[in-house]
Amino acid sequence: MKFAFSQILLASLVLVVPLGVAEKSDAAPELAFVTSVGPRWAAVEDAALGPDGAIYVVGAGLRPGTTGERWWFDEWIPFVAKLSSEDGKVQLLTFIGEGYVGRAKAVAVGADGSVYVAGTTTAPELGATEGEYRAPNFCAEEEGEISCSGVFVAKLDPSGSRILYAALLGGSSWELVTDLAVDSAGAAYVTGPTMSSDFPVTAFATQKSNHSAPWATDIFIAKIQPGGSVLGYSTYLGGNGWDVPLGAAVNVDGQLLVAMASDGATVIGGADVTRKTYIVQVGGLGEFASVVAQLEAETEPRSLSRGFALGADGSAYVLGEAADRTCGLGFGRYVWKKPLRGQGREYLRCLDFVATDLAVDRRGRAVVAAVAWKEFGVPLTPDAVRSCVNGDRDAAVVRLDEDGEIDFGSFLGGSGIEESSVVAASPTNDLYVAMVTDSLDFPPTGDDEEGRHGIAVAKLDFDVRRRAGIQCAANAASWQAAAISPGEVLSLTGWGLGPREPLGLELDETGRVSTERGGTRILFDGVAAPLLYVSDRQVNTVAPFGLTPGKVIELQLERHGRVEARHPVLVVPFAPGVFTLSGTNRVAALNEDGTLNSPSNPAKRGSVITIYATGLGPTEPPSTDGSITHGEPLPELQYLPSVRIYGRSAEILYAGGAPGSIAGVVQINLRVPLDTSASPNATVLIRTQPHFAQSQFPLPTIAVE
């Protein structure tokens, strides 16, 4: 039995798709570039800007060209990369301590362009040309073998080709690096957590022993003199629990400030900071440490979400984690702004997303890098450059205004996975976000080897406001964005996509759906696609059936003959989605008598129902772009999917073009399994073969009695 496809149902399924953002924006910042940075199977840890505007990114990974499946950190090498702020081209890629395991965790750039990198390494020396300091216990003998593991601070010349000095610090347990700061004289300050009881400390250290070892961490703070061969000072700070640094910065007076968090009994300079986030000023020869500010709310160092920055007015900004009673249940991240010079307003902004890094722009606005899942996004604003999560998770960026209110939020990513993002803000009006990615279309490398599990850097230019742009290309059935498939019905959202007054589909003189409406065309690698619905914020279309899977293509928005926006997408064989009733998770299903399935009108077990989907691959005979399905023979799917209702396999009686609908909408007639359970919310799942893909999650539902 082949039910006729309801034109009313077609309108509700294909033409009315919820927008990614509710409000309207006339313009949005320019995504100036997305570029790929060297290492494979990599981690990105920090980013900074040089005096010439160049972007510096550090982390760890494998050299480009390395073969094999070696992706874990046991073979990672620390690296620093320099990129042009104009076009994102990589100008420098230097590995530090080659042949040894390590990880660059922090980067700072001096006024003369010298690059300072801090991290961890197992290398006994780094080949410095002008000086090297090595703590006496950096390399220890363990069972007859020399083991070197600890902290390094390296200064590179402005070209990045030569290590001028290196300082190697460590104790007999372990240390990590959290942050690095440089003063105007060229002295470097490094801080991180340590479990070692014998980390090197200097004679006048304010705290000479680790109060938490060996079961928890205190922090270490070390100053490396400009020449690199002398340790200015080194000290512990902390109490009897877990103490972690959140970041370090040097203020305009040349004073070192370190943000910390504690979950144990901690007293610093006479101030009780137990279970607090606080800011410490360290000076002299390390003998002086005083608390200059503390957050009264109870906090705790639960994860690696941390950041610290100073604004132009001297205000301090801290990214950390709060106890549940401070920010409530959830992710528990917060941004704390504390004016240290009596100017501005203090705020504590709780964040309900996974924040990973912090920067401050020229206007004193906190900028937070984040990771977003489909289920746990970030607050979006109408001017987002990406309004949907592609793949399983994306990077994201959120900006707070001077009072801590969100004034910009956007996803950043492609059809794969993005994570571990860091952010830097320029003195102009640009934001740079570096992230780990395995997407082939962000940036659009199309290279399955070098393009995966690498690092991408994106530049957002807020001085250039685009009048048109594509924020999201989503499956019109599932409203989930990832890679696209040939013949998939898509919903594109953005701004400036078409006329203010919405237009529906129109048939041309050949009887096919027109590829131009209201001056708008959508092109997939130059091929115009049929348009089902066009407005200024949304366009619904069908991907051409002739697209080649495995290829990254360019999706173009054309307005009145001019290309206004470009959006790279990856093409895959299948991208299944099940159509649901507007605004619900209920499958748009017809019962055997042709009535709409609902909890008050359930389908009987053993009866035949009809559901509608898209993204299920090619048909036989082949479907034609923009054609309306009718006549005999109807185009049937070349690769029959499987359908499960409440976990039970359903018998498929027909799967192919839906009569009366545009090619790309698939009708599936199936028998409700006799052994499935009765439920008003029986889940429906489609899986494709031979290339495995499955329909949306959360699973949509039908009613079964």
Q: What is the pTM of this model?
A: 0.89
Residue 583 and residue 555 share a domain: no
579 and 555 belong to one structural domain: no
Model pLDDT, residue 141: 60
- For residue 632, which phi and psi values (nearest 5 degrees)? -125, 145
* Residue at a domain's end among 541, 570, 599: 570
Domain membership of residue 556 as a residue range: 470-570
pLDDT of residue 452: 55
Angle, alpha carbons 76-80-86 (nearest 5°): 135
pLDDT of residue 26: 53
Beta bridge partners of 419: 436
The per-residue DSSP string of 556-583 comes to EEEETTEEEEEEEEEB-S---EE-B-TT
> What is each CA distance from 549 to 379, 387, 618, 694, in whole angstroms?
33, 24, 11, 17
Rounded Cα gap, residues 457 and 442, in angstroms: 9
Q: 560 and 582 share a domain?
A: no
What is the number of alpha carbons within 13 Å of residue 503 lying toward its C-beta?
21
Task: Mark which of 570, 601, 628 sits at the end of a domain.
Answer: 570
Taking the C-alpha atoms of residue 135 and residue 149, their distance in angstroms, rounded to an integer, is: 11
In a domain, 464, yes or no: no
pLDDT of residue 292: 92
**One domain for residues 526 and 579:** no
Of 271, 266, 268, which Cα lies nearest the Cα of 300?
266
Task: Return the pLDDT at 15.
Answer: 43
Provide the CATH number for the domain around residue 483: 2.60.40
How far apart (Å, rounded) are the C-alpha atoms in residues 497 and 436? 30
CA distance 503 to 516: 11
- Regarding whether 669 and 592 lie in a shared domain, the answer is yes
Count of structural domains, the chain: 2
Are 389 and 410 contacting, i.e. CB atoms less than 8 angstroms apart?
no
Torsion angles phi and psi, residue 214, rounded to 5: -100, 10
Alpha carbon distances (Å) from 25 to 558, 564, 600: 19, 16, 41
Quick check: is 226 in a domain?
no
Query: Has residue 534 been placed in a domain?
Result: yes
Coil, strand or helix at 211: coil
Show the low-confidence residues of the chain (pLDDT under 50): 1-25, 68, 70, 446-451
In a domain, 449, yes or no: no
461 inside domain: no
Amino acid making up residue 137: N
Report the chain's terminal Cα–Cα distance, integer Å. 22
C-alpha 93/C-alpha 146 separation (Å) is 30
Residues 593 and 697 in one domain: yes
Residues 6+ apart with CB under 8 A from 329: none
Contact 196, 172 (CB under 8 A): yes
- Are residue 544 and residue 663 in the same domain, yes or no? no
Handedness of CA 652, 656, 659, 662 (dihedral sign): positive
Residue 532 lies in a domain: yes
Pair 685, 590 in one domain: yes
Backbone φ and ψ for 327, nearest 5 degrees, come out as -115, 5
Round to whole Å and give the CA distance between 498 and 641.
36
Instruction: Tell whether 495 is covered by a domain.
Output: yes
pLDDT at 146: 63
Residue 450: left (phi > 0), alpha (psi -120 to 50), or beta?
A: alpha
Q: Judge if 551 and 584 occupy the same domain.
A: no
Residues 506, 508, 512, 515: is their CA dihedral positive or negative? negative
Considering the domain boundaries, does residue 502 fall inside one?
yes
Sign of CA dihedral 116, 117, 121, 126: negative
Do 620 and 539 lie in one domain? The reply is: no
Q: Would you list the DSSP string of 114-160? A: -EEEEEEE--S----SSEEEE-TTSEEEETTEEEE-EEEEEEE-TTS
Separation between Cα atoms, residue 630 and residue 620, nearest integer Å = 14
The dihedrals phi and psi of 13, each to the nearest 5 degrees, come to -80, -45
Of 570, 595, 624, which residue is a domain's last?
Answer: 570
Do both 616 and 641 map to the same domain? Answer: yes
Task: Copy the structure tokens of residue 556.
Answer: 């173009």
Pairing of strands 307-310, 354-360: unpaired
Alpha carbon 523 to chain centroid, angstroms: 27
Is 229 exposed, middle or buried (CB count within 10 Å of its CB: 0-12, 13-18, 19+)?
Answer: middle
Asked if 555 and 645 sit in the same domain, the reply is no
